[in-house]
């Protein structure tokens, strides 16, 4: 059973920078996992922010960026805004398909 790990919750001040991470319980995340990042607000369907590690989806502001940091995938939000307060999910590609992480609830305060 593949487990993808994320911080359950994080907070950031308006205008601040925060990094969310996405790891594997056994092993390292690499670009071959093609990490995707999704944003979900309550009652809404998820929206793609980042795919293939660092590619911003259409219409996504450049304050969102994706990378590999050490042995994890990372989503960095620079200049956080109030409407960035959401749940964020990473998903990793495996040889059988995809595995979502448990999500990070981001609070902007």
**Residues whose CB falls within 8 Å of the CB of residue 6, separated by 6 or more in sequence, listed in order:** 20, 21, 22, 23, 88, 89, 90, 101, 102, 103, 104
Binders of other proteins among residues 42 to 101 (CB under 8 A) are 45-48, 51-52, 57-58, 89, 91, 93, 96-101
**Residue (70 or 102) nearer to other proteins, CB:** 102
Count of all residues that appear for the chain in the document:
109
Binders of other proteins among residues 22 to 41 (CB under 8 A) are 34, 36, 38, 40
Q: Residues touching other proteins: how many (CB under 8 A)?
A: 24
**Residue (12 or 49) nearer to other proteins, CB:** 49
- In the complex, the smallest distance separating the C-beta of residue 23 from other proteins, rounded to whole angstroms, is 15
What is the rounded (10 degree) CA torsion for 11, 98, 63, 41?
A: -50
Which residue ranges make up the site for other proteins (CB under 8 A)? Answer: 1, 34, 36, 38, 40, 45-48, 51-52, 57-58, 89, 91, 93, 96-103
């Amino acid at each position: 059973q593949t487990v993808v790990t994320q911080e359950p919750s994080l907070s950031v001040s308006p205008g601040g920078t925060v990094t969310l991470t996405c790891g594997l319980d056994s092993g390292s995340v690499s670009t071959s996992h093609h990490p995707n990042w999704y944003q979900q607000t309550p009652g809404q369907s998820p929206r793609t922010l980042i795919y293939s590690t660092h590619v911003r989806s259409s219409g996504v502001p450049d304050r969102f960026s994706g990378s590999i940091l050490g042995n994890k995938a990372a989503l960095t939000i620079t200049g956080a805004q109030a409407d960035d307060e959401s749940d964020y999910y990473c998903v990793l590609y495996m040889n059988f398909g995809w595995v979502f992480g448990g999500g990070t609830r981001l609070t902007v305060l």
